[in-house]
Amino acid sequence: MSTDQGPGRGIELRHLRAFLAVADEGGITRAAARLGLSQPVVSRTLAALERHLGARLVDRSTHHLALTPAGVVFRDKAVAAVGAFDEAVAPARTHRRPLRLGHAWSAFGPYTTPLLRAWQERHPGTPLELLRIDDRTAGLARGDVDAAVLRGTVDTPGIVTTVLFTEDRVAAVAADGPLAARVSLRLADLGGGPVVLNPVSGTTTPALWPPEIRPSVTLTVANTDDWLTAIAAGRGTGVTGSSTAGTHPHTGVAYRPLDDAPPLPVLLARRDGPGHPALPYLLELAREIVGRGPGQADGGQAGRPDLRGEGTR
């Protein structure tokens, strides 16, 4: 009987490793170099896997290969299967596949550096790669990362979230404008003029304001850098989480406490499924670092950002 008959039959570990290399590297050439194989061999191995499964796993229509929805789902299963095999044949060996963590702009805020340092000390065999991706789920939904730090409400199907902490919202205003002279601000102070929004990866929408003071003019941008540039140029004001003040200081932008805005939840998100075998350790460490409090997370240098000066220089 041919091993090509029926889903799952004839699939070997090499098929899974080839698929994961392509998924991680985003291309056949880089995957082949990583595996020490030729490009034709990797292409044939991937095609054989798709034929066995009866599903297209990789979209080949662009230069940078991307996973299909079926590929995103299968990737988590393949990671679990390869991880279980590696652990079974070499129990003492740490999983060496990088754990890729996406974020849209501020990662874990004041906890980012302490977490990365603690991870390196405790899990040196599993690199933790922090990737900034301007996307509402920081690349998680499309399979670019294994987990993501997200803010606000996440209602994307197939994503599971855990709230790690909440942070205050702050106003971002032009450093040389009249609002920068204020110690703190309220939503009504911003609603009278243009508000800069980032609908791609941001969390602020006009619904943050009560209807009677909702801004009538908005300016949309596609990423945090353009958001900061627009505010510094005086084209409008913005609202963001307090971590932005620490991770994205800008000489032309002043951050001020926003007294009447609700706090912003910071989430650790993963896809619903087996996922990377190191994900439970990431969640455990994140909770531990957050539990110490920002004042202890990095030797007392973190804490609430200094919002008194122009920017956070």
Residue 46 pLDDT > 50: yes
The count of other CB atoms within 10 Å of the CB of residue 181 is 10
Residue 81 pLDDT > 90: no
User: What average pLDDT score do residues 278-296 get?
Assistant: 89
Residue intervals in the chain for CATH 1.10.10.10 = 13-89
72 confidence band (pLDDT: 50, 70, 90): confident
Closest by CA to 105, choosing from 248, 208, 220, is 248
- pLDDT value at residue 23: 85
| Structural contact between residues 95 and 125, judged by C-beta atoms closer than 8 angstroms | yes
Q: For residue 130, with 0-12 CB atoms within 10 Å meaning exposed, 13-18 middle and 19 or more buried, which class applies? A: middle
- pLDDT value at residue 66: 85
- pLDDT value at residue 142: 82
Residue intervals in the chain for CATH 3.40.190.290 = 97-313
CATH number for region 97-313:
3.40.190.290
Residues in the chain: 313
| Structural contact between residues 307 and 179, judged by C-beta atoms closer than 8 angstroms | no
CATH of 13-89, one of 1.10.10.10, 2.40.50.100, 3.40.50.1970, 3.90.1200.10: 1.10.10.10
Closest by CA to 261, choosing from 198, 171, 173, is 171
> Among 98-107, 135-144, 201-210, 288-297, whose mean pLDDT is lowest?
288-297
Largest CA-CA distance found in the chain, in angstroms, rounded: 79
Tell me which H or E stretch contains 49.
Answer: helix 39-53
- pLDDT value at residue 174: 98
* pLDDT, tens only, 181-228: 999 999 999 988 999 999 999 999 999 999 999 999 999 999 999 999
Mean pLDDT of the chain: 86
Amino acid found at 239: V
The count of other CB atoms within 10 Å of the CB of residue 61 is 7
Residue 308 pLDDT > 50: no
Distance CA 164, CA 289 (A): 10
- pLDDT value at residue 275: 82
| Structural contact between residues 118 and 276, judged by C-beta atoms closer than 8 angstroms | no
User: What average pLDDT score do residues 263-274 get?
Assistant: 92
Question: Looking at the whole model, is its pTM more than 0.85?
Answer: no
Q: What DSSP string describes 214-236? A: --S-EEE-SSHHHHHHHHHTTS-
